[in-house]
Amino acid sequence: MIVSSAKPFEEIIKLLKDEDDIFIIGCGACAAKLHVGGEPEVLNMRQRLEEAGKHVVGWCIPSAACSVASFDSLVKKNPVIKEAKSILVMACGSGVSIVSKVAETPVYPSNNTESLGGRSQGEVVPELCAMCGDCKVYYFGGICPKGQCPKQLLNGPCGGSIEGKCEVDPEKDCVWELIFERLEKIGRLDLLEKIWTCEKAEG
Ligand code: SF4
Ligand code: SF4
């Protein structure tokens, strides 16, 4: 899941200051699950834009904003989009980029894209993976220090953690504590004997 959050409305209005006849595109995937691009948020955005004096020509929520085949495919389901002079995408940067690729009009983002994360037990878990293109997360018990350690340390903790919390971000647990606990639990502490010699961990 791509984790994104809603920009402040004031910022969106500033972005759209020279625009009118806006079409809003939400996202039925990550952004909907995160409540920043599903139907309630899109309808709320339409209302707020109209209250701010903007004309909203219509809206839609494709199954995923990052997977739009063509502008024609959007028109087929939402003919009114042809009247739009600009598009506001309530999704992550991938969704904005894909819509920009197919649309002739200017396309604006309503969200800030933050990280590759997930959701578990009703909670959003951000920054799980740094998308390094060379996955070695197994060696760390499924908890990635490239994504979750601010210093991206691959050979153990920095030593600055206090009571299990990260010295860079005391709100978070030190990921190396979590890695150790996890490897201990699955009986694979031996994996810690491996020394990683470069940033792009070689296994
Ligand atoms: S090693 Fe970490 S950053 Fe790289 S792909 Fe795997 S989980 Fe993502
Ligand atoms: S305290 Fe832990 S998570 Fe924080 S920077 Fe040091 S090793 Fe990384």
CA of 130, closest atom in ligand 1? 3
For residue 62, the CA-to-ligand 1 centroid distance in Å is: 29
C-alpha closest to that of 171 among 148, 141, 154, 143: 148
| CA distance linking residue 7 with residue 134, whole number of Å | 32
Ligand 1: residue whose CA is nearest its atom 8: 129
Mutate to test the pocket of ligand 1, among 1, 116, 131, 134 (most ligand atoms within 8 A of CB): 131
Which listed ligand is nearest to 166 at the C-alpha? 2
Per-residue pLDDT tens digits of the chain, which is 203 residues long: 999 999 999 999 999 999 999 999 999 999 999 999 999 999 999 999 999 999 999 999 999 999 999 999 999 999 999 999 999 999 999 999 999 999 999 999 999 999 999 989 888 999 999 999 999 999 999 999 999 999 999 999 999 999 999 999 999 999 999 999 999 999 999 999 999 986 555 44
Partners of 120 in the beta sheet?
Answer: 123
Q: Is 22 exposed, middle or buried (0-12, 13-18, 19+ CB in 10 A)?
A: buried
CA distance 1 to 8: 22
Alpha-carbon dihedral sign for residues 97, 12, 44, 126: positive
Q: Backbone phi, then psi, for 89, in 5-degree steps?
A: -105, 120
Angle ∠(84,51,94) on CA atoms, nearest 5: 45
What pTM did the predictor assign? 0.86
- Which atom, in ligand 1's list, is nearest to the CA of 135? 6
Nearest CA to ligand 2 atom 6: 158
Tokens of residue 118, six digits? 């997930």
pLDDT of residue 199: 52
- Tell me, in angstroms, the distance from the centre of ligand 1 to residue 45's CA: 35
What pLDDT does residue 197 have? 85
- Residue-by-residue DSSP string for 17-86: TT--SEEEE--TTHHHHTTSSSHHHHHHHHHHHHHTTPPEEEEE--S-TT----HHHHHHH-GGGGG-SE
Pocket mutation for ligand 1, best pick of 3, 137, 175, 196 (most atoms within 8 Å of C-beta):
137
**Domains of the chain, each with CATH number or no CATH:** 2-114 (3.40.50.2300), 130-193 (no CATH)
Ligand 2 site residues, Cβ closer than 6 angstroms: 149-151, 153, 157-158, 160-161, 166-168, 174-176
Pairing of strands 111-120, 2-6: antiparallel
pLDDT value at residue 61: 97
